[in-house]
Amino acid sequence: MQTLYSGVMESVTAPEVVATEPTGPRVCSIARTLEVVGEKWSLLVLREVFLGAGRFDQMAVNTGAPRDVLSARLKTLVAAGILDRVPYQEHPPRYEYVLTDAGRELRSVTLSLMQWGDRHLAGEEGPPAVFTHRCGHVFEAQLVCAACHEPIGNSVSGGLRRQWPDANC
């Protein structure tokens, strides 16, 4: 207990306040992922590799990224295990970038971002590209439960329940 007042009259004390606020930023997988792919150029590099343009010069033209920035992003994505650097020419040595298994798992993220942009940012001219599934229908990204295949809704919880071990999450 902390003494708030002590004088001729009775002492007034208050219980100690125990801080329940987290002492640092929330630790979560979103923050960790953004450390690797959360920068504009990184996502545009992934877009290019998904579309088959895995060579440096192709990416530089298609993304508009400054060459030094593009080089740095490619090094980060390779170091993170998202891309592999594979030689395609010996003299002079030339490389292309291909997706690893971890990189291919980011396809759903990039397609979801594209779909959101198509819905909310495309303007009157519409989306710049439309993708169709091999069945012939326009592709729409959708999150579903792996077990029951029920779609994850757009409500606040989306039907999900948090089961994180850390109370600060």
Q: Which of 54, 49, 30, 157 is nearest to 103 (CA)?
A: 49
In a domain? residue 36: yes
In a domain? residue 153: no
The top-scoring range by mean pLDDT among 29-38, 39-48, 139-148, 159-168 is 39-48
Quickly list DSSP for 73-84. Answer: HHHHHHHTTSEE
Cα gap 68→51, rounded to integer Å: 22
Decide: 59 and 65 in contact? Cβ < 8 Å: yes
The pLDDT tens digits of the residues spanning 28-57 come to 888 999 999 999 999 999 999 999 999 999
- pLDDT at 149 > cutoff 70: yes
Report DSSP state, residue 146.
Answer: T
Q: Give me the percent of the chain exceeding a pLDDT of 70.
A: 78
Cα gap 82→84, rounded to integer Å: 7
In a domain? residue 49: yes
Which domain covers residue 53, as residue numbers?
A: 29-106
Mean residue pLDDT of the chain comes to: 84
CATH number at residue 79: 1.10.10.10
Cα gap 109→51, rounded to integer Å: 14
In a domain? residue 86: yes
User: 162: pLDDT confidence band, cut at 50, 70 and 90?
Assistant: low
Decide: 57 and 25 in contact? Cβ < 8 Å: no
- 127 token code pair: 């989306």
Does the reported pTM lie above 0.85? no
Count structural domains, the chain.
1
- CA 97 to chain CA centroid, Å, is 20
pLDDT of residue 167: 47
- Structural element, H or E, at residue 99: strand 94-99
